[in-house]
């Protein structure tokens, strides 16, 4: 398919066209048949209206390009002061989550993850060899998360640095552990650890806190000479309450956590879906032992301390428990595995290895997982995996048996596949809007953008994909990222009049700091690109 044809298909595609060109014809029909037993919508499905924007075309411009009628404003970028104390906004912003203040859509707290630092922009050069003590502190300070207060004033969205709430959680913050690995030998007996870093995506809880996920922790823990078993966890933060002890919930397992998505089982237990963003890694869910009590407020955080972690076996459509009993049983007489797995702490610390032992299916970089607010189906972005030729990735949809998130059986479909027939490649973070559309951002590696098989896609982008109706599974492009950037962490205000979005690593491939490949956000007098969070309006 040539580029012109590809562009013609954008915005005009139909399910039939998409299915024909992905080879998914027929599979779609089978899935529909299966939906009778595995998928009865328990909510009124909204009637999908026409999309509220004219899709854009791919571009390689050094700007955040949006459809006509939409605009963006940078609310915070790397190095900006966030509070009166002088704390600053960290590097490479990712997950965002808006918390209204007093129910307002025009003022709230915005949690923002900071995933990693880029030496050349943070230290002014690539560090060869060992980092100095000051550099390690700076590296740790610029990861973690920022809590900023944002307000939609007469000049649009801006940060309010007089906020009583604005603060940082960083690689230097003392953090408590909960769950089976707390105090265990396998993590050096620690019940408190230093800091959180590699914070990629995350998720909301039902009780008003947030979960931030530690993804590629290895390089920072090595550089800072920190025990790597203290990282790779899911971390809970209350943006409004500094006294709420920041905690890592070890019952949710230790791996390259992308995000969390919390739902409820039919019987009221809390369910947390999670992806492990690595090639040939698994999809997980945690089910709490206790039941959610709306009246208990933040005391519900205890639910994340005790429960069962499961891994998805796609070949059987089964969630397999990751308990020490099951892992030892699966190890049989393999002495090496039996020596490695002696307790539940060993299982959660070495989660990926345990998952493969019990039959967890290695998949293609499972990143964001989101539950459809309309029918409870579960969407998983499988970004890509060149180990077996999945260059453009796909989005998988799980149908839990009896529409129960507590169920241990599922069916699945390939909801949408990346490629020139769909117009997107490398789906990553996901979020839903009130019309049941799935919003996804893409993460084509910055070294591959605009070249070879990725040439037709232009820069990374943001796409809207209806999940019902005649355009089910068809992607429409809403945004195009600045040069070499990845768009991450989209989150709407409750009234869906504003979309917060992170622009991560613009100009990442820069080799000569005097000639950066991007200068986004093009601030007057600024000579470098800066990761930043924008507020998009026009909805």
> Which of ligand FEO, Ca ion, none has residue 215 at its interface (CB below 5 to 8 Å by kind)?
ligand FEO
The reply on whether position 443 binds Ca ion by CB under 5 A is yes
| Minimum gap (Å) between residue 260 Cβ and ligand FEO | 13
CB of 287 to Ca ion, least distance (A): 24
* Residues numbered 362-381 forming contacts with ligand FEO, rule: CB under 6 A: 367
Task: State whether residue 329 is helix, strand or coil.
Answer: helix
Element of type H or E holding 16 = helix 15-22
Residues in region 406-435 near Ca ion by CB under 5 A:
428
Largest Cα span, the chain = 69
Contacted by 115, from ligand FEO, Ca ion, none: CB < 5 to 8 Å by type? ligand FEO
**C-alpha distance from residue 61 to each of 7, 24, 488 (Å):** 17, 33, 18
Q: Which is nearer to ligand FEO, 62 or 258 (CB)?
A: 258
Q: How many CA atoms lie within 13 A of 483 on its CB side?
A: 15
Kindly state the number of chain residues that form the binding site for Ca ion, as judged by CB under 5 A.
Answer: 3
Q: How many amino acids of this chain bind ligand FEO (CB under 6 A)?
A: 6
Does residue 305 interact with Ca ion by CB under 5 A? no
* Residue ranges of E strands in 265-316: 269-276, 279-281, 283-291, 307-313
Round to whole Å and give the CA distance between 517 and 33. Answer: 50
Q: Which does 305 bind (CB under 5 to 8 A by kind): Ca ion, ligand FEO, none?
A: none
Residue 18: contacted member of ligand FEO, Ca ion, none (CB under 5 to 8 Å, by partner type):
none
By CB under 6 A, the residues from 208 to 227 that bind ligand FEO are 215
Sheet order of strands, 210-214 included: 192-194, 174-178, 247-249, 234-237, 210-214, 199-204
Given a contact cutoff of 8 angstroms between Cβ atoms, the answer to whether 18 and 416 are in contact is: yes
**By C-beta, is 22 or 502 nearer to ligand FEO?**
502
Cβ contact 238:208 at 8 Å: yes
Q: Are 224 and 200 in contact (CB under 8 A)?
A: no
User: Toward ligand FEO, which CB reaches closer, 167 or 278?
Assistant: 278
What are the φ/ψ torsions at residue 7 (nearest 5 degrees)? Answer: -65, -35
Q: Which residue is nearest to Ca ion (CB)?
A: 443
Site string for ligand FEO, 90-129 (x = CB under 6 A): -------------------------x--------------
Nearest in space to 313 (alpha carbons), one of 344, 351, 337, 282? 282
301 contacts which partner out of ligand FEO, Ca ion, none, CB within 5 to 8 A by kind? none
How buried is 333 (Cβ within 10 angstroms: 0-12 exposed, 13-18 middle, 19+ buried)? exposed
Q: For ligand FEO, give the closer residue by CB, 259 or 459.
A: 259
Q: Is 200 near ligand FEO (CB under 6 A)?
A: yes
Minimal distance, residue 367 CB to Ca ion, in Å: 5
Torsion sign over Cα 222, 309, 249, 324: negative
Which of 62, 118, 258, 364 binds ligand FEO (CB under 6 A)? It is 258
The alpha helices in 189-273, defined as continuous H runs, are 218-223
- Considering only residues 467 to 496 of the shown chain, the ones binding Ca ion according to CB under 5 A are none
DSSP code for 388: G
Nearer CB in complex with ligand FEO: 22/396? 396
Q: In angstroms, what is the minimal distance from the CB of 365 to ligand FEO?
A: 7
CB closer to ligand FEO out of 181 and 426: 426
The Cα–Cα gap between 236 and 247 comes to: 5
| 118 vs 258, beta carbon nearer ligand FEO | 258
435 binds, among Ca ion, ligand FEO, none (CB under 5 to 8 A by kind): none
Q: Dihedral sign, CA of 451, 455, 459, 463?
A: negative
- Min dist CB 428 to ligand FEO, Å, is 6
Contact 169, 184 (CB under 8 A): no
Q: Which is nearer to ligand FEO, 149 or 277 (CB)?
A: 277
Tokens read off for 275: 């992806």
Q: Residue 222 Cβ, how far from ligand FEO at the closest point, in Å? A: 18
Q: Which is nearer to ligand FEO, 94 or 238 (CB)?
A: 94
User: Which two structure tokens, joined as six digits, stand for 52?
Assistant: 């509220």
Cβ 487 to Ca ion shortest distance, Å? 10
| Interacting residues with ligand FEO (CB under 6 A) | 115, 200, 215, 258, 277, 367
């Amino acid at each position: 398919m040539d580029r012109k044809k590809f562009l013609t298909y954008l915005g005009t595609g139909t399910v039939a066209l998409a299915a024909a060109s992905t080879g998914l014809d027929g599979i779609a029909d089978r899935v529909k048949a299966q939906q009778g037993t595995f998928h009865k919508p328990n909510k009124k499905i909204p009637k999908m209206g026409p999309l509220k924007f004219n899709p854009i075309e791919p571009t390689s411009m050094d700007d955040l390009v949006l459809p006509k009628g939409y605009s963006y404003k940078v609310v915070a970028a790397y190095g900006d002061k966030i509070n009166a104390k002088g704390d600053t906004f960290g590097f490479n912003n990712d997950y965002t989550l808006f918390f209204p203040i007093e129910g307002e859509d025009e003022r709230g707290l915005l949690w923002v993850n900071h995933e990693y630092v880029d030496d050349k922009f943070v230290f002014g050069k690539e560090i060869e060899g060992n980092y100095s003590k000051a550099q390690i502190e700076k590296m740790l300070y610029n990861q973690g998360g920022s809590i900023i207060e944002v307000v939609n004033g007469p000049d649009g969205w801006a940060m309010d640095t007089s906020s009583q709430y604005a603060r940082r959680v960083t690689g230097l913050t003392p953090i408590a552990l909960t769950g089976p690995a707390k105090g265990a030998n396998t993590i050096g007996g620690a019940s408190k650890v230093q800091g959180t870093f590699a914070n990629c995506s995350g998720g909301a809880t039902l009780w008003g806190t947030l979960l931030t996920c530690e993804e590629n922790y290895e390089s920072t823990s090595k550089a800072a000479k920190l025990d790597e078993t203290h990282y790779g966890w899911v971390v809970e933060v209350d943006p409004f309450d500094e006294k709420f002890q920041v905690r890592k919930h070890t019952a949710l397992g230790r791996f390259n956590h992308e995000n969390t998505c919390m739902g409820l089982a039919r019987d009221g237990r809390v369910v947390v879906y999670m992806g492990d963003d690595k090639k040939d890694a698994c999809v997980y869910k945690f089910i709490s032992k206790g039941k959610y009590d709306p009246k208990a407020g933040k005391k519900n955080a205890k639910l994340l301390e005790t429960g069962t972690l499961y891994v998805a076996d796609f070949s059987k459509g089964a969630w397999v428990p990751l308990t020490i009993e099951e892992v030892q049983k699966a190890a049989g007489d393999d002495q090496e595995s039996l020596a490695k797995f002696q307790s539940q702490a060993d299982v959660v610390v070495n989660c990926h290895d345990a998952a493969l032992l019990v039959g967890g299916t290695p998949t293609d970089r499972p990143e964001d997982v989101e539950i459809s607010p309309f029918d409870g189906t579960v969407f998983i972005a499988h970004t890509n995996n060149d180990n077996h030729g999945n260059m453009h990735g796909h989005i998988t949809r799980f149908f839990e048996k009896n529409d129960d998130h507590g169920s241990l059986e599922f069916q699945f479909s390939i909801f949408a596949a990346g490629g020139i027939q769909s117009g997107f490649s490398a789906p990553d973070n996901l979020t839903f809007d009130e019309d049941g559309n799935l919003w996804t951002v893409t993460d084509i590696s910055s070294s591959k953008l605009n070249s070879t098989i990725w040439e037709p896609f232009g820069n990374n982008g943001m796409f809207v994909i209806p999940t019902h109706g005649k355009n089910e599974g068809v992607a429409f492009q809403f945004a195009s990222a600045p040069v070499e950037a990845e768009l991450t962490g989209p989150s709407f205000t409750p009234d869906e009049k504003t979309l917060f979005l992170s622009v991560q690593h613009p100009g990442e491939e820069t080799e000569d700091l005097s000639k950066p490949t991007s200068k986004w956000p093009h601030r007057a007098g600024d000579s470098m690109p800066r990761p930043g969070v924008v507020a998009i309006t026009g909805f």
